[in-house]
Amino acid sequence: MGQVPAATRALRVLRFLASQPDPAPLERIVRACDLPRSTAYHLLNAMIAEGFVVHLAEEHRYGLGVAAFEVGSGYSRQEPLQRIARRPLAALVDRVGQSAHLAVLHGRDVLYVLEERAPGRPPLVTDVGVRLPASLTASGRALLARLPAAQVRALYPSPDAFVDRHGQGPRTLSALRVMLAETRQRGWATEDGEVTPGLASVASAVVDHNGHPMAGVAVTYPSETPSEGPAGAAVDAAALAEEVRRTAAQLTRRLGGVA
C-alpha cells in the first residue's frame, strides 16, 4: 500500500506531460501536478530510467519517452474504451434519434474515437479520428470542467492557445473558467454553432475511479428547430442532456468510477 501514492503521483505527471504540446520544464510540472519539487524530480528520474520520460538537458524540459508511446500503442490495439462504449452509445442514439459520439482529451484538442450516427441524419464533422479544439466543443468542455484548475491554466497559458472557428467561444482563460464553472453548476456541457453553424451539442464526462475525466459523451442535433425523438415527440437540450448524462454515468460505473 505504501507504493500506491507514489504510483498515483507518477501517473499524474504522465497525464500532464501527455496533455502538453511540447516538453515541459520542471517548475510547470510541479505546479500542474501539485507536487513538492524534490518529489517531482525523483519521480521524473525514475520514469527516465524506465523510458517513460526523456530529459532534454539543453532545454531544461521533460517530455514523454518511448515507453509511453508503447503504452499508447497498446491501448490503440485493444481499444477498451471504445468496446465498452459502443453498445451504450448505440442505445443512446436509439433513445434520442440523434447522432452521438465519444471523444477523449488530447492536449488542447478532443480526439473523436467513436461515432454512432442516427438513421437519416447527415454526417458530422466529428468523425472518428478528427481533432477539434476542446474549448469549442461540448465534449471538450465537459472534460475540461473536470480537470484541476492548474492543469487548465497550463493548457491555456495565453490567448494564443485559443482557436476561433466561427467567431464564437472563449478567447481568454478567464472566459473559459467562467464557462467551465457554468458547466459544473449545470451538470453538463453545451455548444451551439461554435463547431458547425446550425448544429448544437450537449455532453457529459466519463470519469475513472480517481475522478479523472476519461472521455466525453455527446449528442449533436439541429439547433434551429426542436429535435424530434424516435416517437416524434419534441425534445429540448435539457432532455437530451439527461440522456447523455445517463449514458456517461453508465460508462463511468463500468470503468470503476462513481457517477
Q: What are 175-230's pLDDT values in tens digits?
A: 999 999 999 999 999 999 888 888 999 999 999 887 889 999 999 998 865 444 44
Number of structural domains, the chain?
Answer: 2
pLDDT tens, residue by residue, 43-59: 999 999 999 999 998 88
- Choose the final residue of a domain: 71, 92, 127: 71
Check residue 241 and give its pLDDT.
Answer: 95
Q: 84 with 65, same domain?
A: no
What is the grid cell recorded at 50?
Answer: 524506465
Q: Is residue 83 part of a domain?
A: yes
Query: Amino acid letter at 244?
Result: V
Q: Is residue 156 part of a domain?
A: yes
Q: 170 with 200, same domain?
A: yes
Check residue 233 and give its pLDDT.
Answer: 46
Q: 38 with 59, same domain?
A: yes
Q: Is residue 173 part of a domain?
A: yes
Of 60-74, 162-176, 222-236, least confident by mean pLDDT is 222-236
Q: Is residue 259 part of a domain?
A: no
Check residue 237 and give its pLDDT.
Answer: 87
- For 8, phi and psi rounded to 5 degrees? -65, -45
Give mean pLDDT, residues 64-82.
73
122: domain range? 79-254
Q: 183 with 231, same domain?
A: yes
pTM of this structure: 0.68
